[in-house]
Structure 1
Amino acid sequence: MEWQLEPVLTRFQALTQGLLASLPNVVLGLVLFALFWFVSGVLRRSVQALAERAGQPAGIARVFGRLAAWVSLALGVLVALTVIFPTLTAASLFGALGVSGVAIGFAFKDIFQNLLAGLLILITRPFRIGDQIVSGEHEGTVEDIQVRATLLRTYDNRRVVIPNSELYTNRVIVNTAYDRRRLAVTVGIGYGDDIAQAKRIILDTLAGVEEIRSDPAPAVLVRELADFSVNLEVRYWIDPPIRREVVESQDRVLEALKPALIAAGIDLPLPTQQVLFHDQTKETDGDRTRQREGWPARADNPRSRAALTRPVETP
């Protein structure tokens, strides 16, 4: 079998001639791409400086500058491809990008959703770096707001990466949005205690705690008549409203209230339960026509235990 080298040489010669013929287009395309690369750098710095002058934080301004640079580079790639490949027109290129863009959009829907949500969070700024937020089951301090996700540092020193789409579409509690915060603790007193006296003692005690603001003034409200106590809700305001100050102020308030209430004779009852039979406590408990526990009345009432155990008097 004889090798036919002539077709191979002819093909190689055609490829070489085509490459030499397209070399000016390649050079021009690379020059244009380098020009767009330079323009993207200038555009990035300009957009970043403009965003900072508009009052945006440095991190947000940096993100805007990078986005502007990416758009400029993408446009440079499209222009360079149309120059290097003359048969590739802008219409056909954008048509191909449109079809492939739909497929890419379905494949990377979550990524694009988080990207857009990250941009909206950076623009609207519902919370900032350093704020303490609650999102679902997670609570902590915002360490960084990235384009795709937000980094949250929990109070037990763990990092939680939350997708931006989840933060943007769900409820988020920002504990440090304002410069002060209202807190509340619950104190239970006995049913026989004077509620007005307990309120006065609590308010006088709170006046001696340094962290508590006098304006707005603390307040004490009766919240519940519970099984074994009358529950009072003690409300007060502090600043700044970060987690450490919240826990420490609640500790100091409860530590101050306990001895003050006990010294004034206010009872702090413990949970207790008393189990009584319907005929065990007093004589009338066995009389179903007179007792109040809800037993149905009947004519032949048995004698109560109190009556049965009473000694019989002799004349």
Structure 2
Amino acid sequence: MQDLFELQLQRLIESVPQILGAVFTIVVLVFAGQFVSNGIEKVLGKRKTKAIKQTRLIKRLIRWGFSLIGIVIALNLLGLSQVAASFLAAGGVMAVVLGFAFREIGENLLAGLFLSFSRSFDVGDIIESNGIRGKVKRIEIREVHIRTAEGCDIFIPSAIIYKNPLHNFTRDGLRRGRFTIGIDYGDDPQNARELLLSTVQNNENTLKQPAPTVQISGFNPGYIELEVLFWVNTFSESADLIDVRSQLMKACHQALAVNGYTFSSNVTTAIDMLPVDVNVNS
């Protein structure tokens, strides 16, 4: 027993350099992972991204990756190459099994991770994807939370947004509004166009470039239809598209009314029926 103990002690003493090297390797790579992850956080912070949870996930993945490399190198330094290979093989098999079991979850996580790097939209943008339109309230790794104009909160899986075309209505700050108005066939449509265009241009919330336009959009049975097109800057707090559209509709209605134009709703074919005396006595 004493000889066996001394033999094991001797082996332990001889293995001290390998053990210290393995511990040193793990510690160095753990600190390296922490350093790299902090650097990534600073880089993402300079881009003024609002995806805080995405940044935390990226940092965590980097730290885990460096720690895994450190463990594998440490096992090889201790002469446990077979254990390291088995460890990697078991991890690979587990990853495959979990990948099949949670394919949709993994797909959404990867899509969310890719969206974190190629941000085609951000919180506050108005987007549409897969027929769903709304304002982005929150961006998570697995899903994107948007709120529709009807007040409905919708959580779209990241994979759907990543795989389908994405419409961003507020990315460059420009958004176009439109509305139509009808005038009588007896009115001059060209003068009406000029009057409406001047009214739109006088609104302080509409942009000069791109310039607003007024065009004849159709000849309906009872009236000529004019279409008003204008642009607003969505980055301006006072230039809400719905409010500006309402302001312009009211101003255009007043301008046409003051200048004596007949609206389509005022056009009528009613005939005044006058009393007629009929003598039935022959």
Q: Kindly indicate whether residue 223 of structure 2 is the aligned counterpart of residue 225 of structure 1.
A: no
Q: Kindly indicate whether residue 199 of structure 2 is the aligned counterpart of residue 209 of structure 1.
A: no
- Higher RCO by CA contacts (8 Å cutoff, separation 6 or greater): 2
Alignment of 1:1-315 (within 5 A): 37-52=30-45, 55=47, 57=49, 59=52, 61-76=55-70, 86=80, 88-240=82-234, 245-270=240-265
Offset, 1:259: 2.1
Query: Cα–Cα, structure 1 residues 85 and 271, in superposed 2: closer, same or farther, change >3 Å?
Result: farther
Tell me how far apart the structure 2 counterparts of residues 270 and 111 of structure 1 sit (CA, whole Å): 55
CA-based RMSD of the aligned residues comes to 3.6
Query: Cα–Cα, structure 1 residues 87 and 259, in superposed 2: closer, same or farther, change >3 Å?
Result: closer
The CA deviation string for residues 66-115 of structure 1, in whole angstroms up to 9 with x for no partner, is: 32123223445656788999585233333333333322211121122112
Query: Cα–Cα, structure 1 residues 66 and 159, in superposed 2: closer, same or farther, change >3 Å?
Result: farther
Tell me how far apart the structure 2 counterparts of residues 258 and 210 of structure 1 sit (CA, whole Å): 18
Query: Cα–Cα, structure 1 residues 41 and 241, in superposed 2: closer, same or farther, change >3 Å?
Result: closer
Tell me how far apart the structure 2 counterparts of residues 212 and 188 of structure 1 sit (CA, whole Å): 22
Tell me how far apart the structure 2 counterparts of residues 70 and 209 of structure 1 sit (CA, whole Å): 57
Query: Cα–Cα, structure 1 residues 168 and 201, in superposed 2: closer, same or farther, change >3 Å?
Result: same
The CA deviation string for residues 195-242 of structure 1, in whole angstroms up to 9 with x for no partner, is: 112112212222332212233332111112223222111111221268
Q: Using the TM superposition, name which of 66-75 and 165-174 deviates more.
A: 66-75
Q: Alignment length, in residue pairs?
A: 252
- TM-score between the two structures when normalised by the length of structure 1: 0.66
- TM-score between the two structures when normalised by the length of structure 2: 0.73
Tell me how far apart the structure 2 counterparts of residues 272 and 194 of structure 1 sit (CA, whole Å): 15
Tell me how far apart the structure 2 counterparts of residues 271 and 81 of structure 1 sit (CA, whole Å): 89
Tell me how far apart the structure 1 counterparts of residues 251 and 23 of structure 2 sit (CA, whole Å): 76
Structure 1, unpaired ranges of 5+: 1-20, 275-315
Structure 2, unpaired ranges of 5+: 1-10, 270-282
Q: Using the TM superposition, name which of 77-86 and 254-263 deviates more.
A: 77-86
Identity over aligned pairs, percent: 27
Structure showing greater Rg: 1
Tell me how far apart the structure 1 counterparts of residues 253 and 24 of structure 2 sit (CA, whole Å): 79
